Amino acid sequence: MLADKEITDRIIGAAIQVHKSLAPGFLEAIYEEALAAEFDHLSIGYDRQRTIGIEYRGRPIGEHRLDFLVEGKVIVELKAVQAIADIHFAVVR
């Protein structure tokens, strides 16, 4: 299994390649498909649209789908926005 820094370095490199190739302006679904293709090209292991349970005070209250869970360790949530806001971090807290 890859070390955490190596995983994140490879994810960032893949995302940069997708960004360079496609540039801004597409919906998140387009970037997600392109990033999956780049992960496949680089032999980076991932689960796509993985469902996780959300709990509050030990009680299940719903589900959320992760864009990617890379190498079973790193959550990647794609955002096609001009700037990241605090609300975009809610899923990873």
Provide the β-strand partners of residue 55. Answer: 60
What's residue 87's pLDDT? Answer: 61
What would the two tokens of residue 78 be? Answer: 């794609």
pTM: 0.81
- Please determine, for residue 93, whether its predicted confidence score (pLDDT) is greater than 70: no
What's residue 11's pLDDT? Answer: 97
* pLDDT per position as a tens digit, 12-63: 999 999 999 998 889 999 999 999 999 999 999 999 999 999 999 999 999 9
Other CB atoms within a 10 A radius of the CB of residue 19 amount to 13
What would the two tokens of residue 2 be? Answer: 């890859």
Distance from C-alpha of 40 to C-alpha of 15, rounded to nearest angstrom: 13
